[in-house]
Amino acid sequence: MGNLTGCRWLTVFSLVVCVSWMSGCIEQSDTLIDDQGARLSAFNWNVPDHIPLPHEPADNPMSEEKFELGRHLFYDTRLSVNGRVSCGSCHHQDKAFSDGVARPVGATGERHPRNSQALVNVAWYNNLTWANPALGRIEQQVMLPLFGDAPIEHGINEFNKDTILDSIQRVPRYASLFAAAFPEQAEPLQGDLAWDNIVKSIASFVRGLASFNSPFDRNEHSAAARRGEALFNSERLECFHCHDGYNFSNATIDRGITQLEPLFHNTGLYNVDGLGAYPYPNTGRHEVTEVASHMGQFRAPSLRNVELTAPYNHDGSVATLDDVIANYAAGGRLITQGPHVGDGRMSPLKDGFIVSFDISPDEQADLVAFLQSLTDHEFISNPRFSDPWASEPENTL
């Protein structure tokens, strides 16, 4: 059990955060229960008709104004202990909101144990982060990087929060952005209410990051990608069992009301105990539940834009898509040197769908071409999702 101080402070907000080290703090995600699709809102999701709209929490419905305020805050380095870290530091638009490093460093120099995730269709997941079954709401998730202390990312705490809020209040543009986003409030930029509003707006921005406009979506993928698609969906390779549906992840919200248990899988990246075991704290779902059989189980991430999000897997320990595929083809990963020497192929808790297969170099190239056909170039260049401060070096307007 770790330090709960940060968590106590967080409860001053209407949102209660469940952090991964609180094993007793498991709660069902409300997205799981309301998985029949969305309530319609005024927000323009800009997704194709066949994609169900995601759930919007009753206490934070989407609005264009909150999304726009959230965009400014997402990219604002004032929201950190050293004035240098924003969400955008670890989530770069040109990399589908991942960051290109194995494990990122937070505002105090602490290295995160896990790889920065891409932020792609986050609203459609039924649980968030690499392996936390207790984290269902984006509002909860946003509080972890802002206020969490294991690891420290933005480093906001009860001692510096007033100074940091003051630096936000001093930016003239925020007065109108907050007023437009929270028109029902007299003073949306004051005190704890301001922090609540900051969390809700950033969550709205993240919720609005929808990506469904790849060549695959437009049915414009190449012949090689189509051959790769057939391999992906074959019983030989098994990929589709876990990366299925319109978001290429079985942790997607519309999978049916009966499926209340979120899905997690051990893909044999490491073994489960002894030499070569999943290195602490990256034991996956087990880190939260402490159930032995959950060792090494992770959420199947969406494969949309995966071409842009190297290095791969929960700890960034796999360099390329070819390496990811090689691990699957071997039925797990054998590590022959370094601190984690061991044989993930032997893991007794490996998912039944992780079985070795033969794949020729041509087939492997086709499979990679298929994964590349899931890249949405509009998503990574859309000004709607871009840094509003980038063209203003003073960062004070």
Residues of this chain that interact with ligand HEC (CB under 6 A) are 74, 85, 87, 89-91, 104, 106, 112, 114, 116-117, 119, 122, 125, 128-130, 138, 141-142, 145-146, 153-154, 202, 206, 237-239, 241-243, 265, 267, 269, 298, 300-301, 303, 306, 309, 312-314, 321, 324-325, 328, 351, 353-354, 367
Query: Residue 39 or residue 84: which is nearer to ligand HEC going by CB?
Result: 84
Least separation in angstroms between residue 256's CB and ligand HEC is 18
Least separation in angstroms between residue 274's CB and ligand HEC is 18
CA 90 from centre of chain:
11
CA angle 130, 135, 140 (to 5 degrees): 115
Query: Residue 40 or residue 368: which is nearer to ligand HEC going by CB?
Result: 368
Least separation in angstroms between residue 396's CB and ligand HEC is 21
For helices 361-372 and 223-232, what crossing angle results, to 10°? Answer: 100
C-beta separation of 334 from 328 below 8 A: no
Cα separation of the two ends of the chain: 43
Least separation in angstroms between residue 359's CB and ligand HEC is 8
Query: Residue 43 or residue 125: which is nearer to ligand HEC going by CB?
Result: 125
- Angstrom CA distances, 356 to 44, 268, 270, 290, stand at 44, 11, 15, 29
Least separation in angstroms between residue 186's CB and ligand HEC is 26
Cβ-proximal residues to 225 (8 Å cutoff; 6+ apart), any chain: 215, 216, 366, 369, 370, 372, 373
Select from 257, 139, 294, 253 the least CA-distant residue to 202.
139
Cβ neighbours around 195 below 10 Å, total: 21
Query: Residue 183 or residue 308: which is nearer to ligand HEC going by CB?
Result: 308
Query: Residue 17 or residue 122: which is nearer to ligand HEC going by CB?
Result: 122
Query: Residue 189 or residue 263: which is nearer to ligand HEC going by CB?
Result: 263
Residues in the chain: 397
Least separation in angstroms between residue 317's CB and ligand HEC is 9
